Amino acid sequence: MGRLDGKVAVITGGASGIGAATARLFIDEGARVLIADLQAEVAAALAAELGPGAASVGCNVAREPEVKAAINAAADRWGRLDILFNNAGFGGVCGPLDETQVEEYDLTMDVLLKGVFLGIKHASPIMKAQGSGSIINTASICAFEAGFGNQLYTVAKAAIVMLTKAASLEMAEYNVRVNAVCPGYIATPLAAGRPYSMAPAEKVEAAVDRLRGRNQDTQPLARSGEGRDIANMALFLASDDSEWVTGQAMVVDGGLLAGRPWRKLAPWITQHQDTLLYRPPAD
Ligand SMILES: NC(=O)c1ccc[n+]([C@@H]2O[C@H](COP(=O)([O-])OP(=O)(O)OC[C@H]3O[C@@H](n4cnc5c(N)ncnc54)[C@H](O)[C@@H]3O)[C@@H](O)[C@H]2O)c1
């Protein structure tokens, strides 16, 4: 028996990286999944690979009619909507704030933040009427400490965490839960660099592999984050295992926010253990 048997999910940004890993896991756990992504052809190919429980639609999450149509397509096709994973995103505009154009600001906020708002806006009437549902928003460790990503990306991800909390309060009385997942460094085309998202598959894989190498020693748990690490948290938040969890921002980062990987960065701690550690006197 799957942990999502009978449930219907929409995953934005489901054609690649974290979203694609989640689509695969949700299907394995018995859900029916609509993949909504800007890359319509890649989304369609993944849906075809995943079988009859999956479908896809081209969708730009920054455009309200497209978000509404995607959510309604899933509800019309399968008769309900249990899970919305607001996950689509890109790296945001990079560079100094004084050189950032207003159009670049708008693009970053429209995709990363407005896209999440639009998902919540159009899923909530269905979920409220149903009396159940789980909305999961992809934020980031950037929400908690500046410097892990570029400036506007960081602002958008912090706002997603507060939007999650605010929405969770509104929806709790309808038994609709709203949580965020906050990934650390995950080996995906996004993290390998913006141009790679649309590049040929071999180039993307090579870039993601280089990134894996770079990520390896960044956090206390010394391996790169993978899409499946975030998919596993999304599964918990989507399933009834988390039925009493709402308004939370779940960090999945290999320990990065806990502090420095001290065995590497502060070797004196282990080298001088005898003098640093208190030992009771021998009898
Ligand atoms: N990779 C990381 O290290 C990392 C860390 C923290 C948070 N995140 C977040 O995770 C989410 C997924 O990113 P990923 O790492 O899997 O990247 P990815 O590039 O592999 O996947 C992102 C997907 O979103 C789609 N997309 C982009 N803009 C869109 C739009 N306007 N409308 C619809 N779809 C759109 C892309 O086509 C792509 O399929 C993003 O919100 C990202 O900010 C990633």
Give per-residue pLDDT as tens, 239-257.
999 999 999 999 999 999 9
The yes-or-no verdict on residue 202 having pLDDT over 90 is no
Worst-scoring range by mean pLDDT, 105-109, 138-142, 213-217, 265-269? 265-269
- Mean pLDDT computed over 104-125: 98
DSSP three-state, residue 127: helix
Q: Is the C-alpha dihedral spanning 129, 130, 133, 139 positive or negative?
A: negative
CB atoms within 10 A of CB 54: 24
Q: Tell me how far the alpha carbon of residue 252 lies from the centroid of ligand 1, in angstroms.
A: 16
Output 102-109 pairs: Cβ under 8 A, ≥24 positions apart.
104/152, 105/152, 107/62, 108/152, 108/153, 108/156, 109/152, 109/156
- Mean pLDDT computed over 128-138: 98
The yes-or-no verdict on residue 198 having pLDDT over 90 is no
CB of 83 closer than 8 Å to CB of 31: yes
Q: How does the average pLDDT of the chain come out, rounded? A: 93
Q: Tell me how far the alpha carbon of residue 173 lies from the centroid of ligand 1, in angstroms.
A: 31
DSSP three-state, residue 103: helix
> Is 174 among the residues known to form the active site?
no
* Test site for ligand 1: of 10, 11, 18, most ligand atoms within 8 A of the Cβ: 18
* Structure token pair of residue 269: 């701690």
**Which backbone phi and psi does 183 adopt, to 5 degrees?**
-75, 150
Q: Where are the domains of the chain?
A: 8-276
Q: Quick check: CB of 39 below 6 Å from ligand 1?
A: yes
The yes-or-no verdict on residue 196 having pLDDT over 70 is no
Q: Is the C-alpha dihedral spanning 180, 256, 223, 38 positive or negative?
A: positive
Residue-wise pLDDT tens digits, 59-111: 999 999 999 999 999 999 999 999 999 999 999 999 999 999 999 999 999 99
Q: What is the spatial distance between Cα 38 and Cα 198, in angstroms, rounded to a whole number? A: 11
Q: Tell me how far the alpha carbon of residue 240 lies from the centroid of ligand 1, in angstroms.
A: 26
Which CATH architecture does the domain made up of 8-276 adopt? 3-Layer(aba) Sandwich (3.40)
Q: Report the nearest atom of ligand 1 relative to the CA of 196.
A: 19
The yes-or-no verdict on residue 217 having pLDDT over 90 is no
Q: Tell me how far the alpha carbon of residue 13 lies from the centroid of ligand 1, in angstroms.
A: 6
Residue having the nearest C-alpha atom to atom 27 of ligand 1: 89
Catalytic pick among 105, 153, 174, 185: 153
DSSP three-state, residue 47: helix
Q: Report the nearest atom of ligand 1 relative to the CA of 14.
A: 39
DSSP string across 210-262:
HHHHHHTTTSSS-S-B-HHHHHHHHHHHHSGGGTT--S-EEEESTTGGG---H
pLDDT at 240: 98
Q: Which has the higher per-residue pLDDT, 214 or 183?
A: 183
Q: Quick check: CB of 149 below 6 Å from ligand 1?
A: no
End-to-end CA distance of the chain: 59
pLDDT band for position 157 (cuts 50, 70, 90): very high
pLDDT at 216: 82
Q: Quick check: CB of 74 below 6 Å from ligand 1?
A: no
pLDDT at 201: 80
Q: Count the helices and strands in the chain (H runs, E runs).
A: 11, 7
